[in-house]
Each structure stands twice: as structure tokens, then as C-alpha cells.
Amino acid sequence: MFNTTEVYIVAHSLVPGGRHYEKGLKELFAEAFLKVLDQVGNSNLGAVYVANAFSEVLQDQSVLGAFLSDYVGLRRTPAIRIESGDGSSGVAILEAYNMVKAGVYDCVAVVGVEKMHDVTSIKLNKALATITDYEYEGFFGITPAAQAAMAMREYMLKYGYDYEDLASWPIKMHERGSKNPYAYMRKQATLKDVLESEVIADPLRLYDAAPAVDGSAAVVLCNKPLKSNAVVRIDGIGIGAYGTYMGQRDTLTELLSVKDAVNMALRMAHSSIGDVNLVEVHDTYSILGILALESMGFVRPGETPRLLSTGALDAGNKLVVNASGGLKSMGFPGGASGMYEIVSMVMELTNQKPFDSLGNAGLGVVQDMAGFDLVSTAIV
């Protein structure tokens, strides 16, 4: 029943992640939003979707859409908050995409915003733990880092890797981050740096975790490509859900919500995995980036650390993974993470610096995920 409207990303902006103590949630929102508003001029925004995971806990603030849109003077434009944990951005894009595709609105803005600092790390970890199944996991002290550590251990056992082998992820991401002006982590990391870093949840180390940052990013989706040299068409979008706590899963090394989401998106785009040149995966922890790649079918199970260390996923190859340096280098802005990924992908696809050496970028996939394989979205 879908009509044939195409959906384009006609504007984008990204506020680099950091410890923005001088800015509140409203200021961060405004910074990303006003930049895309400048780019689209006075085109009518039918609605604004706000992707945010933790404001209720971290800022004691709900009904976020209304307060944020009022702050930028959009008093009568519906502003709807989408909360799907750290996968909020993907779901917000999905909602916005469907609204434009279906002709409800001509143009819609999607803004991801999260302010992770200004609270103690105890409070932040408590907020992060809301993305676990609180009845079966969070209540007993399981955090997202603990979940990642369990998956990492299973992965190492299953494919015969040592911890050193998995360090290829943070090393590669830091290397790319060093060239990305939007990155929070701008220094290279050596194997020694990684191996000597603090153990967070054995075997997971500090360098395996994307650093929590305050940040925001925005895009505008329209049914027409506005005049701009940075327009990207969305060909497919998929969602997968698998809200099962870890104890009930058959395996921790396959992310089924990610698999479903990418299959749905590729089907919609009439494409296959082999057509894809670029992929941005949600690497809040190294292992989750690795598992996402393998669950989507881009890399054979167990092969990612090897391919990364040989440079087979670098620029110049058939497939480039996290050209941006991923969340590992850009930082982890909670529910805004997927927006960081999608804005990076737009810059990659349109050959904007710092990604202008990627050559002919054709088709990209952005994968976003909430918690451990709970709700995932893939955008082609």
C-alpha cells in the first residue's frame, strides 16, 4: 500500500561528542537542530522526532519533545520523543521515514540528543542498566558491560581467540578516529595501550568500551532532494526485535535483531549484502561491533578480528567498516548514537572530508541497536 515516494536525507549536522558541561540538553538539541534548519531554509517541517534514551533518569525530564521544540521556537510542530534505549535513533529514523514515505509529512527532522555527564558515574551506570531486562538482569547488578563481557568470552572460546586478537577493533577505530575531526578520541592506540588498560568486566577492558559523551546530531528527511550537494536517498529500512534476557538465549554470538533488521532493509532496497560498500555498526563495545558485522552477514562468523588486523576492511577494499572510527572513537552519546552513525554515513557517501579518500561509495548500511540485541534498525 506504500506509495512510491522516495525519501531523502537532505540535511545533516553533528555536534562532536565531549564533556559539554557548559551546555544542557536544550542547548545541545538546539545546536544540532538549528544547523539543519539553516540547511533546509524555511521548508515546512511536519514533525520533529527526538531520539533520547536517558533524560528521565539523567535530567529528571520527560515529555522531552515539547520542551525542546519550544526552546527553539517550534511551538506548534509536533515533537515526539522516541525512547528505545541506545537504539533510539534508529527507531526515530524509522518512524520519520515511514511518515514521509507514506505522505503524512513532506519533511521531518530527526534529532538525537543525550547528555551523559553532569551526573556521578554511579547514576550513569544505573541509567545504562535500564537497557537490560531489569527484572532478570539489572536488578542483580548486570550492566551492559557485563553482557558484552559474557559475549566476548563466548566468542573467544568459540573461535579460539586470545584477548590480544580482539584488540584489533579498538586499535583500528582509534587509528580512524585520529583522522576524523568529529571524533572524541583523536589519538592512536597501540596494542600496549589496549592491553594495559583497566579491566572493566573480565575479559572486557577500558579500550573495548566506547566512551560516554554528551552529544547531538540531526538530519532532515524529505520526499524531494532539496538543492544541496549532500543528499542521500534511503532505499530500505528495517527493524528487528529480540527482547529476551541473556539467560534465555541459545547463543550470545549471534545478534538476531540485527540480522532481521538488515534483511528487512536489504529486501526493501532490492539489494544484497554484496552490493554494500560501507557499513557503520553500533560498537558501544568492540565485541558488539564484531558480532553485528557477522550477524548481518558481511563477515563470516569468527573472521572479523583477522580481517581487521590484515587491513581487509580498510578504505580501498570492497567493504569499509566504520570509516568514522565508530562510536569507539566518536564517543557513545546514548540514544543519539545512531544519529552519529547515520550522519557519518551521509558524509562518507557524499565524499565529505574526512572521508574523501573512500573512492566511489555506493551503498551504505547503518546499524543501530538497543541494549544487547534488543531492538535493532538497519538503514540502507
User: Which residues would be at the binding site for its own copies (CB under 8 A)?
Assistant: 1-3, 5, 24, 26, 53-54, 56-57, 59-71, 75-85, 87, 91, 94-95, 98-99, 101-104, 126-127, 129-131, 133-135, 138-139, 239-244, 257, 260, 370-371, 374-375
- Residues near 112 by beta carbon (within 8 Å), at least 6 away in sequence: 32, 50, 51, 52, 88, 89, 92, 216, 217, 218, 333, 335, 336, 337, 338, 339, 340
Q: CA 139, CA 26: separation in Å to the nearest integer?
A: 31
In 3D space, the residue among 120, 169, 140, 167 whose CA is nearest the CA of residue 294 turns out to be: 169
Q: What is the nearest approach in angstroms of its own copies to the Cβ of residue 6?
A: 13
Strand residues in 191-287 grouped as ranges (E): 199-201, 204-205, 214-222, 232-234, 237-241, 278-280
> Exposed, middle or buried by CB within 10 Å (0-12, 13-18, 19+), for 136?
middle
Nearer to its own copies, 26 or 176 (CB): 26
In 3D space, the residue among 154, 187, 191 whose CA is nearest the CA of residue 169 turns out to be: 191
Q: What is the nearest approach in angstroms of its own copies to the Cβ of residue 176?
A: 29
Query: Are the C-beta atoms of residues 285 and 145 closer than 8 Å to each other?
Result: yes
Nearer to its own copies, 30 or 299 (CB): 30
Q: What is the nearest approach in angstroms of its own copies to the Cβ of residue 369?
A: 10
Q: What is the nearest approach in angstroms of its own copies to the Cβ of residue 117?
A: 16
Nearer to its own copies, 118 or 154 (CB): 118
Q: What is the nearest approach in angstroms of its own copies to the Cβ of residue 235?
A: 17
DSSP three-state, residue 113? strand
Nearer to its own copies, 97 or 298 (CB): 97
Nearer to its own copies, 63 or 199 (CB): 63
In 3D space, the residue among 8, 79, 13, 7 whose CA is nearest the CA of residue 352 turns out to be: 13
Residue with cell 541497536: 369
Residue 230 CB-half CA count within 13 A: 17
Nearer to its own copies, 141 or 160 (CB): 141
Nearer to its own copies, 25 or 171 (CB): 25
Q: What is the nearest approach in angstroms of its own copies to the Cβ of residue 277?
A: 27
Terminal C-alpha separation, the chain: 21
Residue with cell 568492540: 286
Q: What is the nearest approach in angstroms of its own copies to the Cβ of residue 229?
A: 27
Nearer to its own copies, 19 or 249 (CB): 249
State the CB neighbour count (10 A cutoff) for residue 161. Answer: 18
| Peptide linkage before 305 cis (omega within 30 of 0) | no
Q: What is the nearest approach in angstroms of its own copies to the Cβ of residue 47?
A: 9
